[in-house]
Amino acid sequence: MQYGFAQDTVMAKTHSINIKPTTDFDQRFYYVPGERQNLWGYRAGVLINDKYKLGIGGYYMNQHTDQGVTATTLSRTSSDPLTVNKQLYLGTIYYEPYLLRRTLWETSLVFETGYGRTVNSSVNKTNNSTLLQQNGLLVPAGIGLSVNLKLPPLFNIQCFRWIGINAMAGYRTTIYQQDKQYNYNGAYWSLSGAIFLDRMFEDFHAWKKQRATARDSRVIQLSY
């Protein structure tokens, strides 16, 4: 869609902002000291003037740990084995300017921050009693480098160019964290399929323009 904003009525110049929808699957593997965390996520936003993206994201982690964890580890007197359940809920906003854009690939930087909650609980495996449960605020920030590989229209079928592969690597840190027991800072990488809504948007409008041109041609022929 395009929105025109008059900048100079005397010179009759019109500048426009070109906006297209975007979406990204975002499964991330984080490496923090002593463990690996796996976050499932999804991002949605808009591509502005084919130069940068703005949008929001949502992420979820549900991790169970029981190796080497006992009640004494959590300052308890018992040595009963425990299962630690770590859940993370994050909502983010992101800004993603492109560095390079080519027909079959593109690369960009991803800057993000947001708000989240950590819900951590420790369950005694002997009697299934909950020894400790914490619900804390988390404010993350991160930067990453993203690369998209795009398919061409194979066999002259346009829908092939709507899909591809996304790879990303970066680092997440916490600006503020209520729960000090666990560390959520670390490097991450991501590899997933990609759907390019901006290309779908472009092809749809090209198809509409072709239909309108063909219809106008038929009208002109009939008028003769």
Whether residue 176 is predicted with pLDDT greater than 80 in this model: the reply is yes
Whether residue 89 is predicted with pLDDT greater than 90 in this model: the reply is yes
List C-alpha distances in Å: 7 to 3, 19, 48, 63, 205.
Answer: 13, 19, 19, 53, 26
Q: What is the mean pLDDT of the chain?
A: 84
Residue 219 structure tokens? 């009208």
Residue 27 structure tokens? 């499964």
Q: How many CA atoms lie within 13 A of 19 on its CB side?
A: 10
Query: Residue 223's pLDDT band (boundaries 50, 70, 90)?
Result: low
pTM of the predicted protein model? 0.80
> Which is higher by pLDDT, 90 or 12?
90
**Span 144-153, mean pLDDT?**
96
**Span 178-194, mean pLDDT?**
91
Strands 52-65 and 105-124: unpaired
pLDDT score recorded for residue 14: 52
CA distance linking residue 41 with residue 88, whole number of Å: 11
Cβ(87)–Cβ(133) under 8 Å? no
CA distance linking residue 62 with residue 140, whole number of Å: 17
